[in-house]
Copies of this chain bind each other. A is one copy, B any other.
Amino acid sequence: MIRTAVIGASGYSGQELLRYLARHPQFELVLVTSRQQAGEPLGKHVAGLPKKLAALTFTDAGPDAALAEKADLFFLAVPHGTAAPYVVALRKAGKTVVDLSADFRTTDPVAYKEFYDHDHPAPQLLDEAVYGLPEIHRAQLVRTKLIAAPGCFPTSIIVPLVPFLQRKLIDPAHLSVTSLSGVSGAGRKLELRLLFGEVADNMYAYGAPKHRHVGEIEQELSLAAGVPVSITFVPHLVPIHRGMVTTTVASLTDPTMTDATAHAVLQAAYGDEPFVDVLASGALPQAREVAHSNRIQVAARVDARTKRLLLFSSLDNLGKGNASQAIQAANLACGLDETTGLT
């Protein structure tokens, strides 16, 4: 059993980590922190936990050496910017860290500054961090000590695009990406725009054209393409708690590509992946089919009229787009079977 801690467990990410960790046979939850809920039992704030875990108490703990002694594997579910000091302290003590924030996802400090408007707080650790997408970086994730776990937008965009970029089947200069996001992707924050009364019966585009996560997405796509890739990305908020659907339009380099060959590309890349469902002809990804799971659905279609490739994906913002994918990566980092605790 690996002694496991969740730092910052009062948000939706943290709560979902607790639910997944509750059924993980190798990760033993020994520490759960939350500034707001310190001293209270987990069960008061998180539904569906087994009784033993529900009785565990939230504690408060800062990023120091004392914290590092309490566990061996740390999941950080704290906001962007808050994570870095924890990473520094925990890595200094040699601990394995899975950071669910964006702090270590952009490996280039210049790109980081472009999207976050300030210098990176711990650039010395950037080389060490591995982008936590197992389907793309599996080999590097094995036995790594610092995982920069990606969120829902990057996961839903990168997974279907990478095989086509790697094979030069689409023009890397013309990618248009639209995502529909459930509200859990925005976190559990006290903001007027997140009230039920503002979200219900409503939907809208936001954050365009320069959403903060575009930097890490282009980094990963460029890596796959071998040339710089830029995307136009428009996220939309929709009145659903969990779920993300992403649609990408790309120009085909080979205008003879068909639905069948496009499907074959996805199948070749992901047919053996335990958590990627390559949908057969006729089906398109749906949010509900992957809710409460670590699965991502992907599909491809060719628009023969306009010589475009259409890529589709769906995932659970809190699952494959967040908490369960972080556990998938942590399994690799700890030398376990990748699917442990996730099926």
A residues lining the B interface (CB < 8 Å): 12, 47-48, 50, 174, 176, 178, 180, 183-184, 188, 190-192, 194-206, 208-210, 230-232, 234, 236, 238-243, 245, 247, 249, 284-293, 301-306, 308, 310, 312, 314, 343
Contact = CB atoms under 8 A, between A and B. Distances in A.
Given A176-B249, A190-B192, A286-B204, A209 B243 contact: no
Given A196-B196, A203-B286, A287-B203, A303 B240 contact: no
A8 to B, nearest CB: 16
A287 B201 CA distance: 8
A248 to B, nearest CB: 9
A188 B196 contact: no
A239 B286 CA distance: 12
A296 B107 CA distance: 42
B196 A241 contact: yes
A198 B183 CA distance: 10
Contacts of A312: 205
17 contacts: A47-B289, A178-B178, A180-B236, A183-B200, A188-B195, A196-B200, A201-B201, A201-B240, A201-B287, A201-B288, A204-B284, A209-B308, A232-B306, A232-B308, A234-B247, A234-B310, A238-B238
Which residue of A196, A201, A210, A343 has the most chain B CB atoms within 10 A of its CB atom? A196
B202 A286 contact: yes
B310 A203 contact: no
A255 to B, nearest CB: 14
B234 A249 contact: yes
Copies of this protein in the complex:
4
A206 B284 contact: yes
Nearest to A214: B305
A199 to B, nearest CB: 4
Given A180-B238, A209-B306, A230-B305, A12 B197 contact: yes
A245 B178 CA distance: 12
A9 B303 CA distance: 36
B209 A301 contact: yes
B201 A242 contact: yes
A288 B286 CA distance: 21
B202 A243 contact: yes
Given A190-B191, A201-B201, 12 more contacts: A176-B176, A176-B308, A195-B196, A200-B239, A201-B241, A202-B286, A205-B284, A208-B301, A209-B305, A230-B306, A232-B306, A236-B245
Given A201-B243, A201-B288, A288-B202, A249 B232 contact: yes
Nearest to A343: B50
Contacts of A236: 180, 245, 247
Nearest to A174: B174
Contacts of A240: 200-203, 238-239
